[in-house]
Chains A and B, each alone.
Chain A
Amino acid sequence: MFQLGPAEWQAIEVTFKLCLYTTIILLLLATPVSWWLAQGRTQFRTVVQAIVALPLVLPPTVLGFYLLITLGPRGVVGQTLQDLGFQHLAFSFEGILIASVIYSMPFAVQPLTEAFRNLGRRPVEVASSLGAGAWDRFRTVIFPLSRGGFVVAATLTFAHTLGEFGVILMLGGSIPGETKVLSVLIYDHAEAMNYDAAHSLSLMLLIFAFATLFVVYSINRRFEVAKL
């Protein structure tokens, strides 16, 4: 049953690359956003918070549709890229990477915001008074004290990107080696009545997802971050 053919391995590679890149980009992006969000509650922050959380409630097809018409050949971004001599981003790995970053954003931002709120301003003020500049403070105080939040953010982002389907199908289609990720491959297998292949991949994802959540909740109990 667990015989993986070249098509499966290719899908696994695309999926893994997508998840890894998304996680790295999101951690870099979400850290400053979350830090800013954790600094207080103003009207503007609430607006940003709501925008970041949108993918939690929107049907993935809606997000995928808007991304398609923005990044595609006739969209603002896609057309500009073409005018500059590049490819538009629909049906490409870069396109679904951008989509994943947006789609998984809340899963990185929320745990980090929570971790930064719990941290409070005191340790940072102490470090400043002791002569530590911004990067020094992040490296030696903020990061070690909110490590739990970073672990939760990274794991959830990775796992959630793994589970992406609707957005990728809308924007990326099903191009082997480019946009055909595991979830799409499973869909294709099931469509083709190839249940054995669909089954083995599905079980793999199921076990991986469970393991991930188990890790996250174990950490969560220890660090008390990330209320999702």
Chain B
Amino acid sequence: MTLYLQAHLRHGKDFELKVNHELPLEGVTALFGRSGCGKTTLLRIIAGLERPRGAVVRFGGQHWQRGRQFLPLHKRRIGLVFQEHSLLPHLSARENLLYGYQRTPAEQRRLHPDEVTAMLGIEHLLDRRIDQLSGGQRQRFSLGRALLISPQLLLLDEPMAALDTQTKREIMPFLSRMAAESGVPIIMVSHSPDEVTRLADRVVFMQNGQIQNVETLREALARPDSPLFDDAGAASVLEGTLGEAGEDNARPFGPPEARLWLTSSAPAAGMDRTRISILARDVSLSLVDPQHISIQNHLPVTIERIDPPRDNRCVVACRTADGQLLLAEITARAVQQLGLATGKQVYALIKSVALLA
């Protein structure tokens, strides 16, 4: 399934959007870029809320817009979630949730209120007025409402931008669970590297109204200069199964040949497909597997690439035993002294791990 987009649009003197791309649609695709780069406009074109002359929007085999042909939003079956809360103020929480469900023909319904409310943890809130809901709860209702039309595509416009950090942390697990369980392709606008690394499978980088490139999250994170890295510098994202905590509170992550131990108080149950993030500067390399050291996580890795030094520091890309990419940031001097080179087997010592989602 792909989404073909061709559009040329000018707003005033300063803004020009020009795209001609075919985007694959499995999983979560993030439109990433600074504010004003045109990502929200692109999302509105996909939704049919903007209708630039001459644009072409093709979803799978179906033309949503081409020439004079234009399918209005209410016939596209797109779930839309906006950044600020957009529940209809004159309806109750339940009426909001069911507004689209009631308008979806029975034979098209794949998701039903019971499973969606359970997935989003909002069963106990259905009878509230919407001004009795917190920001995070409102956003969960917006997500549920969009899911209940059994959409062919979900568009999320910075769904967490208006939420505080605490609420974001509360919403994030629901979003990633929704992405994994609903089976609906998602396009998400974001300017937050954190959100993208947690949720996305693929990143569309946008700049000045143009699509720069489309990469899988892995590819995007393998570049040491990736725009996804914020001030903390390069980071890698590893995916794996998180096991249950043992007696010492440590939880195994990943397969035995590339096992990490995490101490985290977060969700107690084991989770499939969990993501963790490791900052490159928290990873050291050693030629031998050191004993008698406080760092608990040692992984055997193979050096795949050493990037040229910047400010005397090199990012070294290593392949773990289960084939994932781990970035280490070490000094150029260390690279020389240890004689590091592509293909060499070393041990990565990981000082700190952040559990995502």
Contacts and interface: CB of A to CB of B under 8 A. Distances in A.
Given A122-B82, A136-B103, A128 B73 contact: yes
A88 B75 CA distance: 47
Residue of A123, A127, A130 ringed by the most chain B CB atoms within 10 A: A130
Contact of B149 (A131, A133, A137, A144): A131
A190 interface: no
Would you call the interface of chain A mostly helix, strand, loop, or mixed? helix
B107 to A, nearest CB: 14
Interface string A121-139: 0110111111111001100
A127 B79 CA distance: 11
B90 A131 contact: no
A132 B88 CA distance: 13
B118 interface: no
Contacts of B47: 125, 129
Size bin of chain A's contact surface:
10 to 19
Contact of B100 (A125, A130, A141, A144): A130
A127 B146 contact: no
Interface in B73-89: 73-75, 77-80, 82, 84, 86, 88-89
B104 A131 contact: yes
Contacts of A131: 74-75, 77, 100, 103-104, 149
Interface in B315-346: none
Contacts of A136: 103
Interface residues of B, number: 23
A137 B78 CA distance: 16
Residue of A122, A126, A128, A129 ringed by the most chain B CB atoms within 10 A: A129
A33 interface: no
A209 interface: no
A136 B103 CA distance: 10
A145 interface: yes
Nearest to A131: B103
A132 B74 contact: yes
Contact of B79 (A125, A129, A132, A144): A129
Interface string B175-190: 0000000000000000
B88 A129 contact: no
B78 A144 contact: no
A125 B80 contact: yes
A133 B49 contact: no
A145 B86 contact: no
A125 B78 CA distance: 11
B103 A126 contact: no
Given A130-B103, A131-B100, A131-B104, A123 B74 contact: no
Contact of A129 (B78, B84, B89, B90): B78
B90 A145 contact: yes
Nearest to B101: A130
B103 A129 contact: no
Contacts of B99: 127, 130, 132, 140
A123 B86 contact: yes
A70 to B, nearest CB: 38
Given A125-B49, A125-B80, A126-B80, A132 B86 contact: no
A166 B293 CA distance: 98
B145 interface: yes
Contacts of A126: 80, 82, 86, 88
Contact of B145 (A128, A130, A132): A130
Interface in B9-64: 47, 49
B72 interface: yes
A141 B88 contact: yes
B58 to A, nearest CB: 19
A132 B80 CA distance: 13
Contact of B74 (A133, A144, A145): A133
A65 to B, nearest CB: 45
Interface string B113-146: 0000000000000000000000000000000011
Contacts of B149: 129-131
A152 to B, nearest CB: 17
A96 to B, nearest CB: 38
Nearest to A122: B86
Interface in A138-174: 140-141, 144-145
Contacts of A144: 90
Interface of A: 122-123, 125-133, 136-137, 140-141, 144-145
Interface of B: 47, 49, 72-75, 77-80, 82, 84, 86, 88-90, 99-100, 103-104, 145-146, 149
27 contacts: A122-B86, A123-B89, A125-B47, A125-B49, A125-B73, A125-B80, A126-B86, A126-B88, A127-B88, A127-B99, A128-B72, A129-B74, A129-B78, A129-B149, A130-B74, A130-B99, A130-B103, A131-B74, A131-B77, A131-B104, A131-B149, A132-B103, A137-B74, A140-B99, A141-B88, A144-B90, A145-B90
Given A129-B74, A129-B78, 16 more contacts: A122-B84, A123-B88, A125-B49, A126-B82, A127-B74, A127-B88, A128-B74, A129-B80, A130-B99, A131-B75, A131-B100, A131-B149, A132-B99, A133-B74, A136-B103, A137-B74
A-B CB proximity, top 6 nearest? A130-B100, A131-B103, A129-B80, A128-B73, A128-B74, A144-B90
